Structure 1
């Protein structure tokens, strides 16, 4: 019998993580599923907080906030499952989700990473994600397929190759992960799952979406909309992704566009909306790329500045 390791990262959201554990416990026991909780930025050991809600929990305390990539990597290193299921703590599972994802990986050996349909938790008839288009390497932009569509079955029972998986829920075989490698931790937040998809593509595997199952996602619980954190890392990591995954000529062309057009446009938007406190984080995210190597782990982020 195959086993699955669910890895979720908690960052000061114990109640949210407990709700995830409860949703897992409704449908699964600890025989074939282990849940690894990486407690990011936890000053105290909180294993006893989570332990009552699922019978097979592996708790990892990290006093340092390692970000999404670093936290998941910490969990991956201790996972014993044949399948690795990275799952945001602000999600909840329906019945049969894990079995369906595992079956897709068994049926299609060419799949490296697989994401299910994502539905908004508070609007369960509305789609958040049904795949991604490829990234345009000259603009660093891509689009979410199905975003804000009504869930009327147009994606149900369909599985196909897609541009990228969604970091809120993605599964892979452990044997493929060992070949592709861990996530790049210098992203810290945002774009790390896109970069990870590129790693799986590099070992000859494909990235797929399936509408045969779904996950409910409580979007923006962790970061919020238009927060300095979100703006900084989106700006910074959009360029970092291009630097890491394209050649020199493409990086130069993108940098010209990004520096002279895209980022100034974003700055003027925030200034026009009287949000100068947000505009500066666009500039900080852009500047980081001109002052740090693409493999640098110096995040250059301080909310107090």
Structure 2
């Protein structure tokens, strides 16, 4: 059975649009776990009456992307788990090609081609390149290109995309759930690293497609996003690369990347600039005293 897991954070209208697409295209033999994260009111009756495959799990505490999905894992029953953002829309070919990819035991995670919802022939994701260990940067393959079938292949990629990723339960049991040290952003990159270190491959399957309403949850440019992207970029590099590479990255970040971003935001919005500095401070706390580095510190910028 396939378990489809999504996290709702006070965006009922957005989640309802996803559910409508699931009703149209999801496999009959599937369950849909809706994790109502930071719940303010009970939406279970409203959602569960829409389709018998829906199960709502409520958390009054905001568990973040990782914690919310991990709660979904705990209550799910499927042998295959499909994690999708609540701001996505599934299509008729969102499922079967991914399930076929996971028939290969060496594949630990597979992701579909992702298109921008508002410009549906424009690609958002068709795989990731390798991260440069000195800059901490990589590229999204095909991003903002028009889809002319150039990425319809099935191939290995370095990282999955958090908006849509399918795994076998066996793999999750082996490597653990989504890392919760990040709370928001970079957790799927860290998870992908763990999966590959366990000997599995990450695949991109261009025969499957999903539509994504990019950054509806936190905004294209927001203090919340600024905090976590800054903090978690440093955490990711620290957790996944050798001391040699991390020192090189940290010099690059502090001498070039951070000052450039700081002066760019200085003339835009004071809140964005404050969030950038706070993200750096939180990352430094993590490096020197993990017990003081609370993943939820960035919520003050929500």
Which bin holds the TM-score, normalised by the shorter protein? over 0.9
In structure 2, what is the equivalent of residue 82 of structure 1?
79
**Could you give the per-residue CA deviations for residues 115-149 of structure 1, whole angstroms, max 9, x where no partner exists?**
00001111111000010111111111111000000
In structure 2, what is the equivalent of residue 20 of structure 1?
18
- Counterparts of 1:200 and 1:96 in 2: how far apart (Å)? 25
| Residues 295 and 164 of structure 1: CA distance in aligned 2, closer, same or farther (over 3 Å) | farther
Equivalent of 1:173 in 165, 168, 172: 168
Shift of 1:275: 2.4
Shift of 1:302: 4.7
In structure 2, what is the equivalent of residue 287 of structure 1?
281
**Could you give the per-residue CA deviations for residues 14-66 of structure 1, whole angstroms, max 9, x where no partner exists?**
1111111111111236x510000100000322101211222211211000111
In structure 1, what is the equivalent of residue 90 of structure 2?
93
Instruction: Please give the TM-score of this superposition, normalised by the length of structure 1.
Output: 0.94
**Could you give the per-residue CA deviations for residues 68-95 of structure 1, whole angstroms, max 9, x where no partner exists?**
0010000011111010100101111111
- Counterparts of 1:287 and 1:198 in 2: how far apart (Å)? 25
Q: CA RMSD in A?
A: 1.6
Could you tell me which runs of 5 or more consecutive residues in structure 2 were left unpaired when the two chains were aligned: none
Q: Is the 8 A contact 2:21 2:89 kept in 1?
A: yes
In structure 2, what is the equivalent of residue 120 of structure 1?
116
Could you tell me which runs of 5 or more consecutive residues in structure 1 were left unpaired when the two chains were aligned: none
Equivalent of 2:254 in 245, 256, 259: 259
In structure 2, what is the equivalent of residue 57 of structure 1?
54
Query: The residue matched to 1:185 in structure 2 has which SS?
Result: coil
Q: Does 1:131 align with 2:124?
A: no
Equivalent of 2:137 in 129, 141, 155: 141
Query: The residue matched to 1:97 in structure 2 has which SS?
Result: coil
In structure 2, what is the equivalent of residue 47 of structure 1?
44
Q: Is the 8 A contact 2:93 2:207 kept in 1?
A: no
Q: Is the 8 A contact 1:11 1:40 kept in 2?
A: yes
Instruction: Please give the TM-score of this superposition, normalised by the length of structure 2.
Output: 0.95
Q: Is the 8 A contact 2:155 2:205 kept in 1?
A: yes
**After superposition, where does 1:207-246 map in structure 2 within 5 Å?**
207-246=202-241
Q: Does 1:185 align with 2:162?
A: no
Query: The residue matched to 1:182 in structure 2 has which SS?
Result: coil
Query: The residue matched to 2:78 in structure 1 has which SS?
Result: coil
- Counterparts of 1:268 and 1:110 in 2: how far apart (Å)? 45
In structure 1, what is the equivalent of residue 150 of structure 2?
154
Is the deviation greater in 234-243 or in 249-258? 249-258
| Residues 295 and 49 of structure 1: CA distance in aligned 2, closer, same or farther (over 3 Å) | farther
- Counterparts of 1:241 and 1:167 in 2: how far apart (Å)? 15
| Residues 177 and 295 of structure 1: CA distance in aligned 2, closer, same or farther (over 3 Å) | farther
